[in-house]
Amino acid sequence: MDLKNYKSIIFKLDKEQRHEKDIDKRRLLLLTLKERLEGVLEILPNDLEMRTKLMYVYIGLNDIEGAKNIAYGLLDKTNSRDILNGLSIIEERTGNYNQAIEYIDKILEKNLIIKH
């Protein structure tokens, strides 16, 4: 399978898991998505879009440390709204509410609209 089709499958899985109401089915979709994303990142380790999606998958799986490692690694490369939003979620879930608010403030300062 070529990489373009692989990415297409990833986007389809991502959309499907976001709309899934059943927790067990959603978790299985997230685990499949994680596996596929890790496969793409072995080939394209610097693909920021796929790495960002993996951060959100880790958040969805409640692997906050994994998400945090990805997020802070991405923050060195980009200051995008998706990364800042992910960091605000991560910090909120770890009880660092002031830090979470700081990331939200950065999004608002840059007038960035969040897609997620």
Q: Is residue 115 part of a domain?
A: no
Q: Which is it for the CA torsion 54, 59, 63, 64, positive or negative?
A: positive
Q: State both tokens at 53.
A: 């999606």
How many domains in the chain? 1
Contact assessment for residue 87 and residue 27, using Cβ atoms and an 8 Å cutoff: no
Position 114 in a domain: no
Range of the domain at 90: 3-109
Q: Please provide the DSSP assignment of 47-98 as one string.
A: -HHHHHHHHHHHHHTT-HHHHHHHHHHHHTT---HHHHHHHHHHHHHTT-HH
CATH number at residue 9: 1.25.40.10
Residue 23 resides in a domain: yes
Does 11 fall in a domain? yes
What length is written for the chain?
116
Token pair of 90 as six digits: 């991560």
Task: Please name the amino acid found at residue 48.
Answer: L
Q: How would you write the pLDDT of the chain (116 residues) with one tens digit per residue?
A: 566 777 888 889 889 998 999 999 999 999 999 999 999 999 989 999 999 999 999 999 999 999 999 999 998 888 788 999 999 999 999 999 999 999 999 988 877 555 55
